[in-house]
Each structure stands twice: as structure tokens, then as C-alpha cells.
Amino acid sequence: MSSDKDSKSQKGKDTTLSGPELQKLYRLMVTTRALDDRGLALQRQGRIGFYLQSTGQEASHLGSAAALKDSDWLFPAYRQPGILLLRQVPIEKIICEWFGNGGDTSKGRQMPVHYSFRQANFVSISSPIGTQLTQAAGAGMAARIRGDDTVFMTYCGDGGTSSNDFHTGLNFAAVYKAPVVFVVENNGWAISVPSSKQTCSTSMAIKADAYGMPGVQVDGNDILAVYQASQEAVARARRGDGPTLIETVTYRMASHSSSDDAARYRDAKEYENWKKKDPITRFQLYLKGKKLWNEAFEKDCVEGAKAAIQTAVNAAEAQPNPPVDSLFDDVYMNLTPQLKEQREHLRDLVAKGSIGADIGAFPL
């Protein structure tokens, strides 16, 4: 299913989502974009050390994750922040992670934008490319052994398909019929490497053939098309029929991260062409055709998102840094004598002012 420029559903099909559900998805897309804009602004202002945007890919990850139950698990890459909003993670907790402060679930130990939220069944993002694919496959294999009906969804970019973990994850999941949905967000670029230099395959979806699982290519800027393809893959996994590979063809509108400048390697015309395919604008046209969108609704979405984010930023910036001796938490269930001694020594140094000064934001 795909909502075209005339706000109609292609192939005579329409979504099973209700009007309020469609409006909720739109609000989540708008909030995700606003969150990205504010995150990059904070980094440019020197208030956080690093940020990584998902601008242009909101339909891809929200449309796919919306097909899951809340009890299903997500093994994300690092360009799916909207899923946290979908899973009702408080915006303040998301922003605390950027600052790495005392309110950060990871206690300041992770890079910014490398979230981990157990309450949302959202497994920690890792910087190494592709590691989440094998993790999801293993979790899916375990669920199948236990007889659970849980489904596991994992993400990577086009660059991630060149990782060892892509082969390992898909191979194991297929052989053991693990209930996993692999979503490859083909956004055109792996930092500065274009998809054309990433693979000689005609698509990313066709790679599924070699592993003995279905491969589906879908318009990643059409949230309804992504949702339908994901619904089918999730249902297949839950039935016990094994994994599916979904390729969402989308575009990375922003640079790779706040440390990158895409203008140095990307054609401006390519960017402008994809900008016309903005997934939020596209979905807006669809909702307008369904009489589910108007200027008042848009204003409520935009201003509501900005207000919620501002409140969360204020609260996050007021949080202190994690206690220095929290370094020793979560290392062992029971601290060893050596670690206890080191902790006391560190506390003594902090008390004397010899260590513990604010060293600033994450240095990227």
C-alpha cells in the first residue's frame, strides 16, 4: 500500500488504522523531526557534545515499529528515535541521555543518541555496525525455544549489509526460523559511501534470497506502505514461519552526524530531489485527503512538540552529573575487595578536590 501524491491509496488498498491512529503517527513524525532539530541545535550551541539525526527517515522506522506489540523487542541502529516516542519513553529521559547526566538511564556511559530503555523493550544501541543483527537473531532463537510469541525487530542501514553480523544474523535467523524482522533502511549513504559502492546486488531486499527468507522492498518515505509490509512480516514471524528482510528505500536528509558535512561529498541536486519526497509532507497530504488534517491540527502538533521538548530540555539541564563513584555500579553483583578499595580512594580524591571537575560535554 502506498499513498501517492493525490492522497489516494494505490492498488485499491487502504490502511486498517483508524483516524486517531493515523493522526497519532503523524504527531509522532512531527515530534521526532522537532526532537532532531533541537538535538542538533544543542550540539551546535556546545550544550551537548554530539548528535545524530533521522530527518527524512521518520516514516521508515515509525511505520515499521508501529506494526509491533508493546511486548515485542527492538534491536535498533542509531537512526530510529521516533520508536522511543511510540513506546512512550518520556522526552526528558531521551534528552538526559544526550547530556549523560544523573537522569540518564546509562549513567553517562554511552555516547549521546545511543539509547537503552528496558521499560520500552529497546535494547542498547551500539556504535559498531551490525552487532544488533546477531543479537536480535539470538534473542529470536531463544524465544522460539521457549515457545514465546514475541517478535524481534532490528534495523541497519545500507552500510550495515556489508558487515559480518549481517550475514551471521540473517543466516542463523533463517536456519532456526527465528521470529525476527530485519529492516534495512537504505538511505543512500553510509557516511560518505553511496549505496552504489556498497553492493553490486540489484537491491538490498534481494539479499534475502541467499538466506532462504522473503525479501521485500518498500517505499521508505511512505509510512503506510512501510506499515503494511511490516505487519505482514510481523504476522509471519509470530506464526512461526521465520524471518523477513524489509528494505525501506529512503534518504538521509541530514549529514551522517554532527561531526560530518554531507555537502562535501553529496550532490546538491540529489538532496533537493529527495527533499520533495519528504515523508511528513507526503503523509500530511494523505491525511488531508482523508479530512484528518487541518491547520489547527498542524499547529497543535508542532507547538505541542516544541513545548514538550523545551520543558524536557530545561529539566535535563537542571540535572547534576552522575556521581563519580557510580563508575563502580553494575560491574559485579557484589563488589570485589579491590573495587571497594578503589571506590573509597576515588571518593577521598573527590572530597579533597583532586578530581571530579566538570570536563564538559562528550568530546566529538
- Tell me whether residue 236 is one of the annotated catalytic residues: no
Out of 265, 266, 271, 343, which one is annotated catalytic? 265
How crowded is the C-beta side of 274, counted as CA atoms within 13 Å? Answer: 20
Q: Would you call 294 helix, strand, or coil by DSSP?
A: coil
Pairing of β 189-190 and β 193-194: antiparallel
DSSP E strands in the chain: the ranges are 73-75, 152-157, 180-186, 189-190, 193-194, 215-219, 244-249
Out of 26, 256, 282, 286, which one is annotated catalytic? 256
Among 171, 190, 173, which Cα is nearest to 78's?
190
CA distance 104 to 335: 22
- Tell me whether residue 167 is one of the annotated catalytic residues: no
Cell numbers given for 282? 507526503
The backbone torsions φ and ψ at residue 277, rounded to the nearest 5 degrees and listed phi first, read -105, 25
Number of Cβ within a 10 Å radius of residue 203: 16
- Tell me whether residue 118 is one of the annotated catalytic residues: no
Out of 79, 236, 252, 282, which one is annotated catalytic? 252
CA distance 258 to 288: 34
297: exposed, middle or buried (Cβ count in 10 Å: 0-12, 13-18, 19+): middle
By annotation, the residues acting in catalysis are 252, 256, 265
